Structure 1
Amino acid sequence: MRCLITCLLIFTSSTLYAQQGVLAGKVISGGSSLAYASVSLQGTTYGTTTDGNGAYKLARIKPGDYVAVFSSIGYFSQHIKVHITADTLVQNAELKEGSSKLNEVVITGVSRATELRSNPVPIAVLTKKDIEQNVNSNIIEAITKGVPGVTAVTTGPNISKPFIRGLGYNRVLTLYDGIRQEGQQWGDEHGIEVDQYGMARAEVIKGPASLTYGSDALAGVINLIPYIPAGENGRLNGDVTTEYHTNNGLIASSLGLAYKQNDWKYAFRATGKTAHNYHNQVDGYVYNTAYQEYIFSGMARVDKQWGYSQFSAAAYNNKQEIPDGSRDSLSRRFTVQVAEGDRDDIKNRPFVPNEWLTSYGMTPLHQHIQHYRIYNKTEVKVGGGIFDAALGWQQSIRREYNHPTQPQQAGLYVTLNTINYDFRFSPQIWHGWETSFGVNGIYQNNTSKNATDFPIPDYNLFDIGGFAFAKKKFGKVDVSGGIRYDTRHINWNDFYVGPNPANGFEQKVGADDPAGNLQFPSFSHNYYGISGSLGLTYNVSERVLLKANIARGYRAPNITEIGSNGLDPGAHIVYLGNRNFNPEFSLQEDVGFIAYLKDADLALEVFNNNIDNYIYQSRLDDENGNPVIIVPGNTTYQYQQSKARLYGAEFTFNVHPQATNWFELSNSLAYVIGLNKNEKLIEQSNGAAKYLPFIPPFHWQSDVKFKLNGSYGLFSKLWLRTGIDLFAAQNRYYALNDTETPTPGYTLVHAGVGASIKRKSGKPICDLFIQGDNLFDVAYQSNLNRLKYFEYYNASPNGRSGIYNMGRNVSFKVVFTL
């Protein structure tokens, strides 16, 4: 491995200083050593972390005056001016515990790692601690609970698609360790293929981030940063997490191991999850919502004075059952599909046996998602600048089994291969100007295999974009901005479908097959766009900021929007695309006020977003107002395009009195309105098309937390938390052709308790968490729950339609430290 990395590094260090200095010391908090704190020289490439004893050392520093920044999650950062000579300078630092994140360093949104306070773009940070202190079925659910303005479209408890301020699907770019995650994002019915237990933190950009990342970042970016257990040199260490959920019987275990030997670090993680059908008081157990998930990942990294190089790989395997909502009209018991075509009477299927509802086995009707990832990230210090390179390969295999008479025959079977590339150079800071230049993009190839349904064609995609970024501080004002140009080429050949005598369904055939039908005529098109941003941060004081940013975003249409023409079995939807669609362009203005005070902090973020060529789904009706049925038992949706506007705000107010540091009160509000600006369609529909689909309602979240300081025998860091989630009724919805329906409001109550267990020596053993969601077992439907529309009858005896969200769920979780 070392030889391989050495061969890949095309770099020879030729810049040597005649005199080099050393900065060393120790970081403490409350008289104790602070391990794994960050130490860096502001505006330079010099940086490190403290060891297990809180000690650090920065060597080979060019003599001069610098500002040393000491920071750690959950502590106030400290800035100390230092004068480096050819000798060793000892500089210690003491950090005070606190909740401020203003000085926290983030890596998402700009080319250099930067402090959150100086970035005018709205960015939220969710730490591993934040993630652990919630009941989560997946990492996206954890983010929706911790970041105001982020929601998710769901199809069951393990399938969540992130939305930021009312925009989702390919408008939200998901990154894994800075590498864009590429699966079949065009569908509703599978989630993000990452390990929720392997995350160190999540960084969320709210708003267009096309400047740095290109197409598909119109709504924002979610960067999931893997967790690497830290430890002493030459000693194997890690963690073990085990978890159980009462509602769907979720059983999960995750093992993370790490080893450090001088400049080398190695990490490995294995995670397994299995769950049966979830339960609520209206539907009982919701048939076909069980799942199984297994993930393996590994990393090898070398850190040198010239920089670092890291190789990582991951394998994701998920089997997820596919609900269809079929049930008996009177008893409302779920039924099982056992026949197909004309022999299948949807309203007269047999009942689901009771023993199936709590079984951990997979039913014949399920989807199978496999995702493989290999990538390298290398950073090289070039003089006073930094060169970053990232290369990756991903393969996403998606199979959906929807034939009960032939359970081994996949209805949908597609394989997507993606090559990621990203090259960036940040020159030495010149007269206070920080600049960065880069080029990045992807190459993709998607192929249908042995399937019977073909909602999208086989296609090739090449995407490339270049950008320039600059930032400078003028007294109390930080100014940053940049510009980018993108181009994307997508093409496919004629795609023919014909009968398959072997199974009685359809198959992909050649153009010379006499029985073949042309389902996807050939297509070739170039999309291009210019994006950019300009923003400033005014530092009223060390803890009070004003921010403003304006950004132009760009997104090329995705494959279903321009090319779909067929059934997606897992969504139970026939999609019809439009190859004449134009790219989306947005212009968003953000204004923010942030104050981290002694006993409280508050933040207000207001945004306005105007989008040209906005693409959305609309249910298709015929001229008589009846739903168009192309495939029996499945709805037909056609993509539309128009102008749109979204505007709203997020507000957080947290109280953490220093005099009573055992008490914390957290509150957040999020509100967004999405308007369809197609005036002609609004008039024709008598206002039914006034609003955009998939817009979340007003959401208020409030939590109170009590912390018991000190130790109680083996227990320490005891805490108790309780709170509410209030979702208002959503009466602003896309009502044309009953694409959406109104959603009543609801309030959910949650609570949790946790503690750490340590040995007498003070060494940690484990962390314990007992947490509950929806404690009063409220029957509710989220307006972003796709299962809400899985209904075969116009009326039901109990007045309830569709499938409801999960009922009461209590989680028991233990995290052992190895």
Structure 2
Amino acid sequence: MRILLNTLLFLAIANLYAQNSIKGNVIDANTNQGIPFANIYFSELEKGTSSNETGYFSLENLPSGNHKIIISVLGYETKSLNLFIPNTNNLTISLTPSAIEMQAVIVSTPFHKLQSENVMKVEQQTITNLKANGAVNLADGITNIAGVESVTTGLSIGKPVIRGLSSNRVLVYTQGVRLENQQFGDEHGLGISDSGIESVEVIKGPASLLYGSDALGGVLYLNPEKFAQNNTSNADFSGNYFSNTQGFSTNAGYKSSDEHFKFLFRGSFAEHADYKTNVYRVTNTRFKEQDFKAGIGYQKEGFKTEFRYNINHSKLGIPEEIGEQSTNKTPLLPFQDLTNHIFSSKSTVFFNNARLDINLGYIYNDRKEFEEHHHDDDDDEHEHEEEHEEDEILEAALHMKLKTANYDIKYNLPKLGKFETIVGVQGMNQVNSNYGEEQLIPDATTNDIGVLATSHIHFEKTDVQLGARFDNRIIDIASGLQKNFNSFNGAFGVKTDIAKSITARINLATGFRAPNLSELTSDGAHEGTNRYEIGNTNLKSEQNFQTDIALEYKNEHVEFFVNGFYNTINNYIFLSPNGTVIDGNPVFIYLQDDAKLYGGEVGLHIHPHPLDWLHIESSFETVTGKQANNVYLPLIPANSITNILRVEFEKPWLKKGYSFIKLTTTFNQNNVSVFETTTNGYSLLSAGIGGSFNLFKNEATLTLSGTNLTNKTYINHLSRLKTDGVFNMGTNVIIGLTYNL
């Protein structure tokens, strides 16, 4: 491998001194007038600029070869072009007016295309939009994406659910590397702040071809904020206030770039009191979070690299029962104290018609959990009210450190006719160590390696994508036990334009998931789940096959889509009570059975011309999960329908103005597993308004939103507090201000 890398880097030297530039104009296709402030962006180079008042733009220091350029601006269809540099200059790019929102490049799939060009169906949402809809944090925000829900323990702890699959079946990527932070536990959240994240992408379905084990159910891909454009600098700060929790979140950032060097940093802080229902405050749902992100990059004509670092520290209360009614913000016992470090490096070497991508990551997760009986003075009930100002008086009952090094190396071969091909190798070394009095899972070392190849084949009206992959995972457990898992997986997809406005996608893919350390070896009580879990060392790998069919219709006035999937999983791993009790907790053991999940999403978006400012949106999502014996799977989200009326407006003093009203109806969930109870349906009303304006010669953005405006008393089927009859959050009004310097 070292010889290969050295050879490829040597071959790249000739490219490092190429001096290429492009210039051109962006014009309206109907009027031929220049379009000001259009975004011109090379997605593979991660380099861009904006057109000036007349539509003119220029970019320098570009490497030779084939590169994709994306041109986008509000009010026009996004356009992508393949350019061969240096044979391209004096471009004239015409854009067609459209009320359809701008498209963004999809990063989570290997060929970095617009969604309209992608063979796989990928959902994407910006963090700005999710927060404008009233999201309190990232785990809450992703539930606004069709087909995505969250298993929650209070407000601060949430795990993504994609089409009924969750936990280690959903892989999370951040800063270009896979996130590993002890996500085996149902009461273990994402551990990521939305501060410094630009957008979220969701692959719904098996993505083992691209990411290996743990991507059997899908991928949640978090895109970090981009560096500043060349020769620009900007700073911003923002704050949000949340009425329900009397909480707030603040963040501030600065970034600057010249022709070659670029850097950014962003810090944030958030804290919330216990959330309030129509009846009571839910004791110990309070939490605090501190987050810092930084990045530095360097770019030459044939080479680019960047290094990013993120540290996140949070204290999360674990709710157990309704007790103290206060607005204090420091967690009571029991609570989690989490510190997560993410180091990532992303480098690309460009050749004339090819490129080498090298992504490296190191994640250091330090998890501490504190319980009632570990307090120094168990007899003093008032110690809770001291709010643990001095953490040294507490001794962690559970203390685990997880250190993960991973790599992802891909070589984009020269384009051969209609074929774009990528070959790659990915791997991971992971060490789990225990330091606390209790031990849920033993010390262990996990090693992964996977090799893959995938191709995108372009035809006039049809695109085909196919690929194959082999993976090997070895888990060495401190007791001397070693588990070895292998899997071969493949994927095949077709996207075709049935008519001018109709696009169809069909994707067939297999996926796999090796049993995690908890499922194999767990032996202990889990706070937040109120159960004692016992692992099973005889578990086999889960293997699935999913069929996805997507149909989209889009014209100037209407967008309509329907997505359907059928997913069969062999050796599906699940927890089941065995009828015994240990230390007052019911005992659950891990079992396996074949399973199937099926369902989909339907959506409609009307933006009637000439009323381009008016948007009427509606979406419906459904999923059903069953074992082979037709017993329903646990933690399957209820069917729901969302209707949104949104208007966009501009005034001389207001830019990017919007307002919306949203009604989400969740239906009864009667299809429950043997140890679940049914859940009643409910409807939640939300609304919001916002826009940007000049304040002291700089842009400020003010937003106002409210969720559950009728203060509905309800329980979500995926709430971990459902078994105790604890309600979800009541009315919450959020005021946000962002100021750009």
| TM-score between the two structures when normalised by the length of structure 2 | 0.91
Structure 1 pair 51/264, CA: closer, same or farther in 2 (3 Å)? farther
Structure 1 pair 52/311, CA: closer, same or farther in 2 (3 Å)? farther
Partner of 1:505: none
Partner of 1:695: 636
* Alignment of 1:301 onto 2:253: no
- SS of the residue 1:560 aligns to: helix
Which whole-Å CA distance do the structure 2 matches of 1:734 and 1:784 have between them? Answer: 13
The offset of 1:543, in angstroms, is: 3.7
Partner of 2:550: 592
Structure 1 pair 526/753, CA: closer, same or farther in 2 (3 Å)? same
The offset of 1:84, in angstroms, is: 7.2
- SS of the residue 1:184 aligns to: coil
Which whole-Å CA distance do the structure 2 matches of 1:391 and 1:436 have between them? Answer: 18
Partner of 2:714: 780
AA at the equivalent of 1:130: N
AA at the equivalent of 1:719: Y
Find 1:445's aligned residue among 431, 434, 440. 431
Partner of 2:253: 256
The offset of 1:62, in angstroms, is: 5.9
- SS of the residue 2:116 aligns to: helix
- SS of the residue 1:212 aligns to: helix
Which whole-Å CA distance do the structure 1 matches of 2:522 and 2:278 have between them? Answer: 37
Task: Name the Cα RMSD after superposition.
Answer: 2.6
Partner of 1:346: none
Find 1:430's aligned residue among 390, 409, 416. 416
Which whole-Å CA distance do the structure 1 matches of 2:65 and 2:230 have between them? Answer: 31
The offset of 1:74, in angstroms, is: 7.1
* Alignment of 1:750 onto 2:703: no
Find 2:670's aligned residue among 731, 735, 749. 731
Which whole-Å CA distance do the structure 2 matches of 1:771 and 1:120 have between them? Answer: 36
Structure 1 pair 563/75, CA: closer, same or farther in 2 (3 Å)? farther
Which whole-Å CA distance do the structure 2 matches of 1:127 and 1:19 have between them? Answer: 35
1:716–1:758: 8 Å Cα contact kept in structure 2?
Answer: no
Find 1:375's aligned residue among 344, 357, 374. 344
Partner of 1:469: 454
AA at the equivalent of 2:219: V
1:49–1:56: 8 Å Cα contact kept in structure 2?
Answer: no
Partner of 2:739: 816
Structure 1 pair 89/558, CA: closer, same or farther in 2 (3 Å)? same
Task: Note the alpha carbon deviations across 1:400-446, whole angstroms, 9 max, x for none.
Answer: 11034436121111100000111110111011210000010211101
Structure 1 pair 385/156, CA: closer, same or farther in 2 (3 Å)? same
Structure 1 pair 229/380, CA: closer, same or farther in 2 (3 Å)? closer
Structure 1 pair 191/75, CA: closer, same or farther in 2 (3 Å)? farther
1:155–1:785: 8 Å Cα contact kept in structure 2?
Answer: yes
Find 1:631's aligned residue among 567, 579, 583. 583
Which whole-Å CA distance do the structure 1 matches of 2:88 and 2:172 have between them? Answer: 45
1:453–1:568: 8 Å Cα contact kept in structure 2?
Answer: no
1:28–1:95: 8 Å Cα contact kept in structure 2?
Answer: no
The offset of 1:94, in angstroms, is: 4.3
The offset of 1:144, in angstroms, is: 1.2
Find 1:653's aligned residue among 604, 617, 625. 604
* Alignment of 1:389 onto 2:391: no
Structure 1 pair 454/16, CA: closer, same or farther in 2 (3 Å)? closer
Task: Note the alpha carbon deviations across 1:141-184, whole angstroms, 9 max, x for none.
Answer: 21211x21111100011111001000000010000022101101
Partner of 1:674: 625
1:454–1:567: 8 Å Cα contact kept in structure 2?
Answer: no
Question: Could you tell which deviates more after superposition, 476-485 or 382-391?
Answer: 382-391
Partner of 1:107: 107
Which whole-Å CA distance do the structure 1 matches of 2:367 and 2:45 have between them? Answer: 44
Which whole-Å CA distance do the structure 1 matches of 2:634 and 2:401 have between them? Answer: 29
Partner of 2:22: 23
Partner of 2:660: 721
The offset of 1:563, in angstroms, is: 0.8
Partner of 2:72: 71
Give identity over the alignment, percent: 29
Which whole-Å CA distance do the structure 2 matches of 1:80 and 1:452 have between them? Answer: 59
AA at the equivalent of 1:49: G
Partner of 1:285: 281
The offset of 1:384, in angstroms, is: 1.0
Question: Could you tell which deviates more after superposition, 259-268 or 581-590?
Answer: 259-268
* Alignment of 1:316 onto 2:316: no
1:544–1:595: 8 Å Cα contact kept in structure 2?
Answer: yes
* Alignment of 1:530 onto 2:488: yes
The offset of 1:473, in angstroms, is: 1.3
Segments of 5+ residues of structure 1 without an aligned counterpart are 1-6, 326-333, 336-351, 495-521, 622-627, 683-689, 792-801
Partner of 1:708: 649
Q: How many residues align?
A: 712
Partner of 1:213: 211
Segments of 5+ residues of structure 2 without an aligned counterpart are 1-5, 377-392
Task: Note the alpha carbon deviations across 1:288-346, whole angstroms, 9 max, x for none.
Answer: 11100000110001122113100111111000111112xxxxxxxx34xxxxxxxxxxx
Task: Note the alpha carbon deviations across 1:629-672, whole angstroms, 9 max, x for none.
Answer: 2022x332211210000000101100112300121011111001
1:187–1:571: 8 Å Cα contact kept in structure 2?
Answer: no
1:395–1:416: 8 Å Cα contact kept in structure 2?
Answer: yes
Structure 1 pair 47/181, CA: closer, same or farther in 2 (3 Å)? closer
| TM-score between the two structures when normalised by the length of structure 1 | 0.83
Which whole-Å CA distance do the structure 2 matches of 1:85 and 1:153 have between them? Answer: 51
Task: Note the alpha carbon deviations across 1:448-480, whole angstroms, 9 max, x for none.
Answer: 10x232111111100110001011112211011
- SS of the residue 2:729 aligns to: coil
Which whole-Å CA distance do the structure 1 matches of 2:713 and 2:341 have between them? Answer: 38
Which whole-Å CA distance do the structure 2 matches of 1:772 and 1:268 have between them? Answer: 30
Which whole-Å CA distance do the structure 2 matches of 1:38 and 1:662 have between them? Answer: 27
1:253–1:273: 8 Å Cα contact kept in structure 2?
Answer: yes
